[in-house]
Structure 1
């Protein structure tokens, strides 16, 4: 009797999934939009950073704290949103979070000083955190196994477009208005996604599968996840690679525009090539994930990232041409399409009952490590790409080391 009772929620979930299959594209668009909060909010104003430094009368390293504040806020916000989504369902924390994001985006647009902009960016990140947590947890609610990995790869088709479109949109907005207009565009995106989620996104977490929020139980759940070697290995692998990616995000506008002389529009196009790579590699990953295991594909992505980062460092050290720098940069960014779907799927695979908390901790490790990267890039100076390359290579090496030492397959 007990076995049959335990199987009922799983059977009900499969039935819900089967009925949702005709609208899988709808789920991909909505959940992809939620996961795009991060790259859109970071990448769209990158072409404006040099102009913002002049307008706000500040230095580059101080302005880069707006990136750090956003990433750290994104990390801490997920710690709260994750357990709440396990207890209250996915929709309510999502709606509150996206509403906060919209309000904070308006505050960013009207900030008169860099200090107020940093504070508004932190609040904006807290709101965006709910979207990231709910998107990953919803995928875990609906899918499992290889099908979950395929759907995360499908999300890369949507989220991979964000790095392409964000700097392009930001560069074009700068042709008609100031950097403040970029944050007004983000306000409109958040408002649109809020309406779409309220109307078209059903609640994926059944009431019987929810758990009450108690501070003690939440802390114990997080500690248990941190003690799990496999989860920690996959989370740190993706987190360190995200830090390598963030070193590029925070330093590329100064390197490519300041050192190599690209205009904001040219920089947007160069930056967007990385998004194309993420999309292409992510879709290839979704097609071959049955023929090769998630671990094999994850290892391949980490090795690609490591070798590409070494190429970036060499190109910067020997002051090679722009093409010699952009080629390994493109390969480095493209490796995200292999690493993120597989590491996320492997990390969440054994946590169907607390997918929100596991998703939150996964995001925290990614964004907290990444948030510490921006000031390091700024301290290295803006006259050369070498500090950016060294940081990218160092974090890629740490990602590979975490996977090799912690995320080892268990023997039965």
Structure 2
């Protein structure tokens, strides 16, 4: 065991991966239930899409606070409190009598669901450095990647013998199990001597300072646009799977299993390559794979016209592989810019990404999910913007920043 690891690496990876699953489970498990929920609430497809966008907006807003709160009072307390709120919010969703009540509890879910993912990143960086941190980050990504693959499958199975509220009861039970596991196995990794008092004014000014740091902003936006190419398909899954591919509520696995398999394979490859290939080189490889996925996806939709499984989902599998190669490099670089404010840096990175995801789910997806080519071209545009931001960052900085480059990363001249 690494001298700074308070628990075995395998147990920590499993626990942090499970904590990170809340976000994906809260989104993807309910996709098969959209038609049934819309019928019960007499709601349109656009109205049902708001169950995703309001959740993501709340997730993004609260993500600004999870990390700084954990910097102030410790990682463990914040995680346990957030998971407890998630359980209560899931019960509220299950009992919701109308769409407005459901949306209110979805907001509460969003306010709590990000705690495991955001604070978990800080836990990793508390315990490990360099390639060891990259390996653990990749292992957590592999475990987390299971959630989007199995969540809609579980949702479809539940609908086979129960009504849609049973999906939220499942989420409540899942959250309760994770709370018990966290209470038993997750020690505190951020001791009192390293904590920083939580002051809203300081948080505001600290976030503004990070946003003025061009290196931080480029990396955060690059990660957001790169994942946004895949999230466009995830948020459009009901339309993509049911309408474009012509499958039913029990066949979401045709989309999610290949896609998340690509992400898990990419995360495994990233972990294996840690220490063998430099971070910038691995990121370049990941962006090259994402670019190839875009070319294949656009070409397929131009040639075929009407997408069909399984060929229509193979580009997403390739894209997810490339994203998983890039993500650990970008995230660790961001955390290493602010070694004394890792929670705050993780929070702001998550806020930027989640805010963008909320815009995709609420605005972009309804506009382009009517056709395969529109989806492919929009996703391709996101990938290009991600690469352009990364290229601009590398041209200026040449290397991924680490602790030794902290002073350069914090130069006051690094302003927009």
TM-score (norm 2): 0.90
Give CA deviations for 1:233-255 in whole Å, capped at 9, x if unaligned: 22111111222222111112212
Answer with 316-325 or 90-99: which moved more: 316-325
Give CA deviations for 1:193-228 in whole Å, capped at 9, x if unaligned: 111111110000011111111222222221222122
User: How far off is 1:316 after superposition?
Assistant: 3.2
Which residue of the partner structure matches residue 342 of structure 1? 329
| Alignment equivalent of 1:392, drawn from 379, 392, 416 | 379
What is the 5 A alignment of 1:280-359? Answer: 280-318=265-303, 319-322=305-308, 323-359=310-346
Which residue of the partner structure matches residue 393 of structure 2? 406
C-alpha separation in 1, matches of 2:364 and 2:248: 21
C-alpha separation in 1, matches of 2:282 and 2:369: 35
Which residue of the partner structure matches residue 16 of structure 1? 4
- Establish whether residue 120 from structure 1 lines up as the match of residue 108 from structure 2: no
Which residue of the partner structure matches residue 178 of structure 2? 193
Alpha-carbon distance change, 221 to 109 in structure 1, aligned in 2, over 3 angstroms: same
* Paired residue secondary structure (1:352): coil
Give CA deviations for 1:300-349 in whole Å, capped at 9, x if unaligned: 22232233234323433441542432221221222232122221112112
Which residue of the partner structure matches residue 265 of structure 1? 250
| Alignment equivalent of 1:374, drawn from 361, 365, 374 | 361
Which residue of the partner structure matches residue 101 of structure 1? 86
Q: Is the 8 A contact 1:156 1:282 kept in 2?
A: yes
Which residue of the partner structure matches residue 37 of structure 1? 22
What is the 5 A alignment of 1:58-97? Answer: 58-97=43-82
Which residue of the partner structure matches residue 161 of structure 2? 176
* Paired residue secondary structure (1:62): helix
Answer with 105-114 or 150-159: which moved more: 105-114
Q: Is the 8 A contact 1:101 1:124 kept in 2?
A: yes
TM-score (norm 1): 0.91
Which residue of the partner structure matches residue 41 of structure 2? 56
Which residue of the partner structure matches residue 413 of structure 2? none
User: How far off is 1:407 after superposition?
Assistant: 4.9
C-alpha separation in 1, matches of 2:178 and 2:49: 27
Q: Is the 8 A contact 1:233 1:407 kept in 2?
A: no
Which residue of the partner structure matches residue 139 of structure 2? 154
- Establish whether residue 254 from structure 1 lines up as the match of residue 274 from structure 2: no
Q: CA RMSD in A?
A: 2.0
C-alpha separation in 2, matches of 1:244 and 1:112: 35
- Establish whether residue 207 from structure 1 lines up as the match of residue 164 from structure 2: no
C-alpha separation in 2, matches of 1:201 and 1:291: 30
* Paired residue secondary structure (2:269): helix
Q: Is the 8 A contact 1:231 1:407 kept in 2?
A: no
* Paired residue secondary structure (1:36): helix
C-alpha separation in 1, matches of 2:109 and 2:349: 20
C-alpha separation in 1, matches of 2:166 and 2:321: 30
* Paired residue secondary structure (2:43): coil
Gaps spanning 5+ residues in structure 2: where? Answer: 399-404, 406-416
- Establish whether residue 230 from structure 1 lines up as the match of residue 215 from structure 2: yes
Alpha-carbon distance change, 408 to 41 in structure 1, aligned in 2, over 3 angstroms: farther
Q: Aligned residues, how many?
A: 397
User: How far off is 1:80 after superposition?
Assistant: 1.3
